[in-house]
Each structure stands twice: as structure tokens, then as C-alpha cells.
Amino acid sequence: MQSSFLFIKLSHDRIPPKSVAVAYQSRLFKRDSRLDKELTMLRNSSETTQCILIVDDDPLILQILSKILQKTGCTVDTAKTGQEALEKLQIRSYTLAVIDVRLQDMNGLDLLNRTQAIAPDMTKIILTGYPSEDDRARAIEHGANFYLAKPIKSEKLIEIVESTLKKDRSLPETP
């Protein structure tokens, strides 16, 4: 029993809290009051700390967007490639992702499609310097919540992100 508790305690930074909850509920771990406390702590920490993932292959854009979005009080994480973003999505739960359409290793709309399978409840914002109606339609079809053209005013981006985060905070907890 002790080893199960240590597994969760040592691994919770690498395993999304939802995964721990699923493993626990599916009886991979025997019921134990210490596990109940640990699971509650993981849920509470993931709910109070909202995380944003920014995906763009331009380091300057990553830096600027990070500084802008840190003003929302969220933890901001970045990825320079679609593959790096997918790896980060496997490790951590994000409330929101800002995804550039043109990435070096894959199309941002393909990444959007893949993130929809991994994190369907995460808010997804597509950001592009080359807006088109076809891409906009594809983005919405594949789960984008917003499709924004660069350059975007920082106030507008913060407004969109904060309204999204506010909605996310007000959702009731699901068992």
C-alpha cells in the first residue's frame, strides 16, 4: 500500500491529476485515506493553478505572448514545435492553448485536431499571420474556440483569455 501512495506523491508532477483520478477509480490502487487526501490535494492544485500553453516556432512571439499572458495570473508554458506541444499535453493539463497555424514540423490546424483528441475541454485559440476563410472554417470544425489574426492587440488577447478563464473557473466540478 505504501508504494502506491509514493507512486502518486512522486509522480503527480508528470501525470495529469485526471489520469491519477482515473487510475485510482479504476482500482489500480487500493482505497486508502492517505490516497484520498493526496487525490484531493492534486485536484485542488490543478483547479487553482490554470495553465496556458503557447505554441509558436518564433522565439520572439513566444516571449512576447508569454509576458502578455502572465498578466492573467496563470502559469504560462511554451512549445516551439507541434511535437513538443503534444508531449507537454501528455504530461500536464492546460486550461487554454494558443496555437500558431504555421509551425516548422506540422500545420497548426493538424496540431489543433490532435489536441482535440488529447484535451477536448481545453480552450483552443488559433493565431495566424496568414488568415483565410478556409483555415478559419477548418479551425472551427476541428475544435478551435477562437481564430485570431496577427497582429493582435495585447488588450484584446488578455480580454479573450480572461473571459475564457472566468468561465472555466465557474464550471461545477464533475465527479
Residues 132 and 95 reside in one and the same domain: yes
| Residue 149 lies inside a defined structural domain of this protein | yes
Residues 17 and 32 reside in one and the same domain: yes
If one counts the domains in the chain, the total is 2
pTM score over 0.85: no
Residues 133 and 63 reside in one and the same domain: yes
CATH number for position 152 = 3.40.50.2300
Residue ranges making up the domain that contains 10: 2-48
For 50-85, what is each residue's pLDDT tens digit?
Answer: 999 999 999 999 999 999 999 999 999 999 999 999
Band the pLDDT of 34: cuts 50, 70, 90.
low
pLDDT at residue 140 tops 90:
yes
Residue closest to 95 by CA, chosen among 64, 73, 80, 110: 73
Tell me which of 31 and 100 has the higher pLDDT. 100
Range from 97-101, 108-112, 114-118, 170-174 carrying the lowest mean pLDDT: 170-174
| Residue 118 lies inside a defined structural domain of this protein | yes
Residues 74 and 132 reside in one and the same domain: yes
